[in-house]
Structure 1
Amino acid sequence: MLIPPSVPAYRLLGGSGATLLAIAGCGAGALPVQDALWWRALRHLDRPALLLGYAGLTLLAVAWWWAGRDLRESGRTGAARLDVRGAAITLACWAGPLLLAPPLFSRDAYSYLAQGAMVLADLDVYQLGVAHLGGGLAAEVPQMWQQTPAPYGPLFLALAAGVSALSGGHLALGVLALRLVAVVGLALIVVNLPPLARHWGVDPAVALWLGVLNPLVPLHLVAGAHNEAVMLGLLVVGLRLAVTGRFGAAAVLVTLAALVKVPAVLGLLVVAAIAVRRVGVRAAAARIVGFAVVTGAAVTWATGIGYGWIGALATPAYRHSWSISTALGRGARRVIEDLGLDLGNLPMRTGIVAGLLGLLAVAGAVWWYRHRLGPAYAVGLLLLAVALLGPATRPWYALWGLVLLAAAAPEGRPRQAAALGAAVLAFVALPSGFGPDAEQALLAAAGVLVGLAVVGVFRLLAPPPPLAVAVPG
């Protein structure tokens, strides 16, 4: 199969951007606080590193947009289409340089390692924060999360414990191991997403572009080593089993995904909807509920971590959690305080309630239109609403719904909106994982301009199709 000349070009552009971002991470990333002398020296370069990082991020985002334009053109001309092998190679070009970079965009990787060490030390991660562990690993977790119980399921904490044992407390080895675990999850998505897309009448190439190659994947699932990679990998495999009629196995895999991170449990609704059509309500309910309960009990028993994960489901609502609703509440409280009034926690509670009401409204709309939407598209929208309107919001949470939308959303505005949202969210978080101040925001904007200038030069050398066009779908 001949590869269009634009493919190596956008792979090179995105790979160059990822390389710049990896280099920038050595000065502006989520660096260890207890580190060697050379890390401390690099910290003094945080400002130019931030500019360089956003320039690299811009190159990566433009490369993805270019790949989408190339995909659209190949559909019109009948040229070679994006397949599993091509998507894997492209993702390797865009994510490979980030494997050896310091943690980027959050410090969650350190939390994973510390919580894994707590499991090894027989400390109750669902009752205690990492402060009870102490030592170097705990010191890497931000102060605001020192007393926070783990919000993850026992399957992931068992994986984190294995990584902590393997790395022996060495930060670099631990982060690399977490990233390799994430790569396994990504491989499951790459292989299993196209069959799902074909089943739901979506172009598999377009599904790979939106669900696998979007910038949030290399930035947060690889560079950030987030456990969403494992959760989504298991979820996609489970849904593939469901569409082939293996409902018991599907329930097991989706439950395993939920035992990594609980939002995946909504995938059981997709399995149930498919099963009901084929075997009836009673048989579907008995099979899915039975396999889910047995899987949850077996994994909880096998890991020895206990059932504290059920009570820990409230952890995302912790008072330090950031979300759109809590941000509105904090903003309202500042305005009220500037007016000389003191309403206590009422503004914050009002913001949270508003977010929950919005989430309920989306859930109601999804239920009302469920037959028109189809189960996977409906649950994808619901997961996206949970990510954006729930008690905690992070850019990578959008992938909960984005992967399902990539496989099941119809062509047109829904996919275009999802693509635009992914592109915007890619620029939201700083490489350090903390919020920007005014100077950092200006440096980030300058980095974007530098990146666009580099793209302009690159276009003179290898001109891509125009970027100001509709995205695939």
Structure 2
Amino acid sequence: MGFPVDLRRCQALGLAGTAFLALGGETAGALPAHDFLAPGSVQAVLGLVGVYFGVVLLIAAWVLLGGVVRGPEPPTPRSLLLVLAVWAAPLLLAPPLFSRDVYSYLAQGAMVDAHIDVYAYGPAQLGGPLADEVAPVWQQTATPYGPVFLVVASVLSALTRGQLPAGLLGMRLIALLGVALMAAALPRLARHSGADPAAALWLGALNPLVLLHLVAGAHNDAIMLGLLGVGLVAARGRWPVLGVVLITLAALVKAPAALGLVAVVALRSRGRGPRALLRHTVTTATAAAATTVAATAAAGTGYGWIAALKTPVSPHNWSPTSLLGRVTGAALDQLGSGLAPFALPAWHAAGLLVTAALLLFIWLRLRPGPVYALGLSLAAVAVFGPAVRPWYALWGLFLIAAAAPTGSVRTRVAAASAVLALTVLPSGAPADVEQVILAVSGGVLALVVLWQAHQAARPQSPVRERTA
């Protein structure tokens, strides 16, 4: 008999993981400048080890929970939602983890509140303590986010009056709202796609990436995915226009969600012939355009967000195409070629072409269900785009979780999630060798504890008494 596993044990183990995450983040997280500790200090070292100890415990709890979900008596979706709430609870008041993007959100909200054009200037234009919290690489960078998110950030800025603790809590609550919308949409999308609702929740909402980056990191991808999910639910039901409105609002948070409009057309016209396709295409485009105009006018930020979509194409971003561009540029520079400056833009353009080709293949040749096709499409955008972050994987993963046709697909996606959960330091800063060693030490310590628990749970073999 192995380690005894049931829903309550998984819940307790995951809670221990997120509790260690929150405690470790107090000294090793993406802290405000006045709370920042030197990486070599005792508190920072213990915090980094503690965070990775917690991450491995959380991953282990999630993997074990997956076995329970696939077992003979799987938990109900309601039970899994309770597990999600329990796991997320310690992170509610924790400092930001794994990224400093939340400080950029707050600064951009303050800029809108101060009538500074966020599509022309970076947070440095705002100045002051709040702008100082933004990572140096983004100080001069215009925002790539749409007017819907900027309205949310501006309202939060006005409510919190620039107070950092209140602003951080507000952003985390907004992210939690997005996660709640994701969790509400997943079972409904799964049933529509013929998938198991409990398995969809396990992979798409209880995933460590959701807790680490959408909850602990408070990324605005949460509200984008939440609106996208409920929009798809509405579109496949009785409210297709409402679905288009919600998906358009999601795209006006972050642009990749606009691909959801293709899924709406496919959902409404599937199997109904060319006339239905044309009718639903026109209806969807009209509703999306009207929503875009109305939302942009209400935000008062103008249409600068269209030009600002190039912001992720920053020389500081990493992705397969960016890596190839840097390597090619360095090689050309060594050869003395004048083409070296064009290497990075050329590879970015190649990535866009590959993405376009994949999207056409998915929708026109592969032709899976609309929700699954959308998940594959967003995954392609994340992988071959000019910038890759671990939380970008959630764009496609969320919908693949809802509509994956086989268990083998879920297994591969789950394995990739577990790996990505280990790739970013809690401070959000680049890693050095010492920090990698500390992080690995924390993870190994967690594995040792789990192994000892496994061994202690095994029944002892009976000892035979010696006979004289």
**TM-score, length of structure 2 as denominator length:** 0.91
Distance 1:148 1:88, change over 3 A: same
Within the alignment, does 1:301 sit opposite 2:294 as a pair? no
Paired with 2:328 and 2:438, the residues of 1 have a C-alpha distance of 28
Q: Which deviates more from structure 2 when the two are superposed, residues 401-410 or residues 361-370?
A: 361-370
What corresponds to 1:467 in structure 2?
none
What corresponds to 1:466 in structure 2?
none
In the alignment, is the contact (CA less than 8 A) between 2:22 and 2:94 conserved in 1?
Answer: yes
Q: Deviations over 1:65-102 (max 9, x none)?
A: 000011111xxx2x24231x212211122221111111
What corresponds to 2:424 in structure 1?
429
* One-letter code aligned to 2:76: L
- Considering only CA atoms, is the larger Rg found in Structure 1 or Structure 2? 2
Question: Does the residue aligned with 1:369 lie in a helix, a strand or coil?
Answer: helix
Q: Deviations over 1:20-48 (max 9, x none)?
A: 11111122111111x15xx5489822223
Structure 1 alignment gaps of length 5 or more? 464-473
Paired with 2:91 and 2:61, the residues of 1 have a C-alpha distance of 16
Within the alignment, does 1:291 sit opposite 2:290 as a pair? no
* One-letter code aligned to 1:192: A
Within the alignment, does 1:104 sit opposite 2:97 as a pair? yes
For residue 402 of structure 2, the aligned residue among 401, 407, 410 is 407
Structure 1 residue 354, shift from structure 2 partner: 4.2
Paired with 1:5 and 1:412, the residues of 2 have a C-alpha distance of 21
What corresponds to 1:385 in structure 2?
380
Q: Which deviates more from structure 2 when the two are superposed, residues 134-143 or residues 20-29?
A: 20-29
Structure 1 residues 214-363: aligned runs within 5 Å:
214-277=207-270, 280-334=276-330, 344-363=340-359
Structure 1 residue 5, shift from structure 2 partner: 6.7
Within the alignment, does 1:125 sit opposite 2:118 as a pair? yes
Within the alignment, does 1:444 sit opposite 2:432 as a pair? no
Structure 1 residue 424, shift from structure 2 partner: 0.9
Structure 1 residues 185-224: aligned runs within 5 Å:
185-224=178-217
Paired with 1:316 and 1:219, the residues of 2 have a C-alpha distance of 22
Within the alignment, does 1:70 sit opposite 2:65 as a pair? no
Paired with 1:41 and 1:330, the residues of 2 have a C-alpha distance of 31
For residue 76 of structure 2, the aligned residue among 70, 74, 82 is 82
In the alignment, is the contact (CA less than 8 A) between 1:366 and 1:381 conserved in 2?
Answer: yes
Q: Which deviates more from structure 2 when the two are superposed, residues 218-227 or residues 282-291?
A: 282-291
Q: Deviations over 1:299-335 (max 9, x none)?
A: 1111111111111111111332222221233344456
Paired with 2:339 and 2:297, the residues of 1 have a C-alpha distance of 46
Paired with 2:411 and 2:354, the residues of 1 have a C-alpha distance of 22
* One-letter code aligned to 2:233: R
In the alignment, is the contact (CA less than 8 A) between 1:245 and 1:275 conserved in 2?
Answer: no
What corresponds to 2:57 in structure 1?
59
In the alignment, is the contact (CA less than 8 A) between 1:152 and 1:309 conserved in 2?
Answer: yes
Structure 1 residue 11, shift from structure 2 partner: 0.9
Paired with 2:38 and 2:389, the residues of 1 have a C-alpha distance of 30
Identical-residue share of aligned pairs (%):
49
Distance 1:32 1:285, change over 3 A: same
Structure 1 residue 190, shift from structure 2 partner: 1.2
Paired with 1:42 and 1:22, the residues of 2 have a C-alpha distance of 18
Structure 1 residue 275, shift from structure 2 partner: 1.6
* Matched pairs, number: 451
Structure 2 alignment gaps of length 5 or more? 459-468
Paired with 1:323 and 1:314, the residues of 2 have a C-alpha distance of 15
Distance 1:290 1:343, change over 3 A: closer
Paired with 2:234 and 2:390, the residues of 1 have a C-alpha distance of 29
**TM-score, length of structure 1 as denominator length:** 0.90
* One-letter code aligned to 1:251: V
Structure 1 residues 24-39: aligned runs within 5 Å:
24-33=24-33, 35=34, 39=36
* One-letter code aligned to 2:32: P
Distance 1:288 1:218, change over 3 A: same
Structure 1 residue 127, shift from structure 2 partner: 0.8
Distance 1:308 1:341, change over 3 A: closer
Structure 1 residue 238, shift from structure 2 partner: 0.7
Q: Deviations over 1:242-298 (max 9, x none)?
A: 111421111111001111111100000110111223581232122211111111111
What corresponds to 1:469 in structure 2?
none
Distance 1:395 1:49, change over 3 A: same
Paired with 1:342 and 1:423, the residues of 2 have a C-alpha distance of 42
Q: Deviations over 1:214-238 (max 9, x none)?
A: 1001100010000111111111111
Within the alignment, does 1:152 sit opposite 2:149 as a pair? no
